[in-house]
């Protein structure tokens, strides 16, 4: 009976180790059940910028979680221009519907210390303006931004200004569905 209990305990421990190993392997490899996300990076002598989006296909009018990681490798603080909540904002557009991000007229600046800075943002999939100009839909009453039409789009990001310039990764392709 004692041998049977020990064997059962050992088998349970081995099963637990197997599960932990499997989960750790999935985390390290970046694989998951819903691994439809995409990552792109750009590097220069002084910077590394990585953008991750949770998925590359979504229903038009919804948002896609995104993360931007900026690694200041200059070895010193760098002043950057751009307002919090606007810098690293992302929208989608294409040749038919450019859909440029709205950037406020005010000027903000901050300093980025050496190291990695992470910004959580969202990819917006609706028109950024209304009123009928430049292909934008009418605003309605009350005014509201409409979802973009179904189609294939590219991301556009609001990047901060700096010297040395922060590189921006290539746009990601986003597919909008009904």
Q: pLDDT digits over 81-99, tens only?
A: 988 888 899 999 999 999 9
What is the reported pLDDT for 5? 40
Q: Tell me: the pLDDT tens digits for 3-14?
A: 434 433 334 433
Token pair in block for residue 96 = 């038919």
3-state secondary structure of 16: helix
CB atoms within 10 A of CB 82: 20
Note the maximum CA span of the chain: 82
The answer, yes or no, to whether residue 176 has pLDDT greater than 50, is: yes
- This prediction has a pTM of 0.76
Residue of 43, 67, 32 whose CA lies nearest to 155: 67
What is the reported pLDDT for 42? 98
Residue of 73, 80, 81, 84 whose CA lies nearest to 50: 73
3-state secondary structure of 117: strand
What is the reported pLDDT for 153? 98
The answer, yes or no, to whether residue 113 has pLDDT greater than 70, is: yes
36-177 placed in CATH 3.40.50.1370: no
Give me the chain's average pLDDT, please: 82
3-state secondary structure of 23: helix
The answer, yes or no, to whether residue 79 has pLDDT greater than 80, is: yes
């Amino acid at each position: 009976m004692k041998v049977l209990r020990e064997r059962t305990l050992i088998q349970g421990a081995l099963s637990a180790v197997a599960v932990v190993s499997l989960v750790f392997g999935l985390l390290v490899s970046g694989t998951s059940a819903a691994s439809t996300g995409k990552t792109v990076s750009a590097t220069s002598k002084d910077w590394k910028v990585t953008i991750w989006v949770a998925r590359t296909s979504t229903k038009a009018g919804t948002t896609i979680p995104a993360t931007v990681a900026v690694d200041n490798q200059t070895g010193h603080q760098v002043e950057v221009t751009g307002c919090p909540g606007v810098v690293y904002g992302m929208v989608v557009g294409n040749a038919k519907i450019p859909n440029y991000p709205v950037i406020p007229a005010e000027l903000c600046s901050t300093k980025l210390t050496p190291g990695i800075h992470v910004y959580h943002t969202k990819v917006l999939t609706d028109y950024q303006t209304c009123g009928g100009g430049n292909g934008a839909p009418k605003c309605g009453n009350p005014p509201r931004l409409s979802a973009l039409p179904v189609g294939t789009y590219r991301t556009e990001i609001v990047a901060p200004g700096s010297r040395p310039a922060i590189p921006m990764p290539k746009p990601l392709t986003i597919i909008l569905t009904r």
